[in-house]
Structure 1
């Protein structure tokens, strides 16, 4: 209630002082503005926990979050924290991050091919101009990929990618000069799954167990042999099939490579010789491998010569050079033709041998 106090701007004109006690109290605009309190409406006063009046000049109450932290900042922070929590949850439950694929080491077989006579020599042009070597391509161009066709579980593009990765591995592990001379293994290692990368490292370190290093890649002992020509003559075939009930694609590679080599300390004018390698590789690719551009080497078979059976070929290859002979006699038999992998029947990568019949007096129990 205003009572009988004077208006802030004095007594309004038109009233005598004698009637002051009985005159009506006047509330003009300036009086209302100067009032310290504001009375709320009846509806507002009926709301719970609401005071019927408001002090116009009282300081605004501090937020329960503190005066230095606006409500908008609190809301924004909560949104950011929620987004981070969702991202972490999705990453933890991702099917690609949760599944750890165990990768077995590949089986490897390395067989030295012992010559039956003295190793012939000559210039690089003389060695590669005649015979089956003349029909081989040079480098990666000699490995032609077949047309990619879709399978039951994999599309045409996936099959093409698997073939391309298989060729990339074959080139890195068989034709790359820096790998052949032992300067690096990165072109091969970088294509493998992480678990097989560690397996390769152990093989290169000379571990007694597990696959041999020359099953993973072809490399010469740099203290013994040097490339007379960095261009490797090669040819090969590729086949694809599904394995594991459609879980993966298997690519089989059968190739032959001809290297012109000479002794490491020889002069460039000294005669070179051909070192032949026959390789059969088997690789697998799951959908995840194709996305991550990874190769799983399942198996590798190598037959290489001319070489000496008395020399261990597991870590590095040591060729016999022009004019040299093996320390022992060559094994009996028809020998191995490195170019046999180019025949149509070799595309499947099947290796056959002869089973010697064991003499016996007759069927058991007779």
Structure 2
């Protein structure tokens, strides 16, 4: 056997070979760090009353061999990932919780007038409107109610905000020249909830008279290649009502008669001017999330518009009779007065009645 007094470096070259059988075992630094127990240092043994001169390491397996900086970085990554997951799940969503299935249903009735339609004085185009019909200029004629209290589940402030959002939608969709005769659609789209924007985009890309993809269901618009405004002023008469549909939904309805002074596109201001009348009923829903983000969902839109020839394709643009074909005499089942809001707006093609005071 080798001399127990041999130095720790091992026997000198040519010395005892009794340790040859252990030379295949290499106790390198990684092996020592991975050990589950370590011997206490001399200072630790002198200052400790522990019965065992060793300490146990945590069972971290491969992690125990990582440098302290690497462990710290790994811990930070895990914490960051956990925070991202938590806030991603708990953050409020902009889209309404129950608004994913909301879809506009639209209907448009053409009101056929006389052929040719009457013209009006370009300097006073609305002078023929009955004085007692209650028309006012633009927003002043919308008939927005004064909010004096909230509802059971919406505060007064929330109702006020909802009405202001609807006012902006009505202004954009019925009164804004760039939407009426310049082909703009973004002023209307930006007020819609995300749940409805895909339907709106589909209608803008491929308008269809299928009650869901008529672009004229979202707004009043005329073909800019055919129609121009004789004046930016729009005469409006009607009202807006507010009810709480359910604990999470406000329902706001608008019923208005709008009169536009139109002339052919490209014709000087002294050209012929005629009036075009639209009665428009819209129903708009807003939940708490919609109110917070000043957005809305247009649920129903029903319009009567004329004078327009019966059978005219109006999914993309309204078609004033002044600049199109005359209506067929046999397609006029009865008269409809668009200023008479006492009757439902949903009608088949009809003859347009003369305005009444």
**Fold-level match, TM-score > 0.5?**
yes
Q: Distance in 2 between matches of 1:352 and 1:39?
A: 98
Q: Distance in 1 between matches of 2:48 and 2:154?
A: 73
One of 222, 225, 233 as aligned partner of 2:224: 222
> Alpha-carbon deviations, 1:237-296, whole Å to 9, x = none?
1111121x3231100001111111111242321121111111000010111111222211
Is 2:253 the partner of 1:256? no
Per the alignment, residue 192 of structure 2 pairs with 192
Q: Give the drift of 1:336.
A: 2.1
Q: Give the drift of 1:49.
A: 4.2
The size of the alignment, in residue pairs, is 294
One of 102, 110, 113 as aligned partner of 2:111: 113
Change (3 A) 1:320 1:42: closer
- 1:66-81 equivalences in 2 (<5 Å): 66=67, 75=72, 78-79=75-76, 81=78
Alignment gaps of 5+ in structure 1: 1-37, 52-62, 355-366
One of 241, 244, 256 as aligned partner of 1:242: 244
Q: Give the drift of 1:351.
A: 5.1
- 1:1-366 equivalences in 2 (<5 Å): 40=43, 44-47=47-50, 48-49=52-53, 65-66=66-67, 75=72, 78-79=75-76, 81-94=78-91, 96=93, 99=97, 101-116=99-114, 118-132=116-130, 135-148=134-147, 149-204=149-204, 205-207=206-208, 209-211=210-212, 212-243=214-245, 245-321=246-322, 326-328=327-329, 331-333=332-334, 335-341=335-341, 350=344
Q: Distance in 2 between matches of 1:188 and 1:353?
A: 26
Change (3 A) 1:172 1:272: same
Alignment gaps of 5+ in structure 2: 1-40, 56-63, 349-357
Structure 1 runs of 4+ aligned residues shifted over 6 Å read none
- 2:291 is paired with a residue whose SS is helix
Change (3 A) 1:81 1:122: same
Asked whether the 8 Å contact 1:118–1:324 carries over to 2, the reply is no
Question: After alignment, is 195-204 or 98-107 more displaced?
Answer: 98-107
Over alpha carbons, which structure has the higher Rg? 1
Scaled by the length of structure 2, what TM-score is found?
Answer: 0.71
Change (3 A) 1:166 1:233: same
Change (3 A) 1:337 1:49: farther
Asked whether the 8 Å contact 2:249–2:285 carries over to 1, the reply is yes
> Alpha-carbon deviations, 1:304-359, whole Å to 9, x = none?
111111422222112122998544356243x2222223xxx57xxx55889xxxxx
Asked whether the 8 Å contact 1:273–1:322 carries over to 2, the reply is no
Q: Distance in 1 between matches of 2:199 and 2:324?
A: 38
Q: Give the drift of 1:45.
A: 4.4
- 2:303 is paired with a residue whose SS is strand
- 1:283 is paired with a residue whose SS is strand
Asked whether the 8 Å contact 1:254–1:281 carries over to 2, the reply is yes
Q: Distance in 1 between matches of 2:276 and 2:347?
A: 24
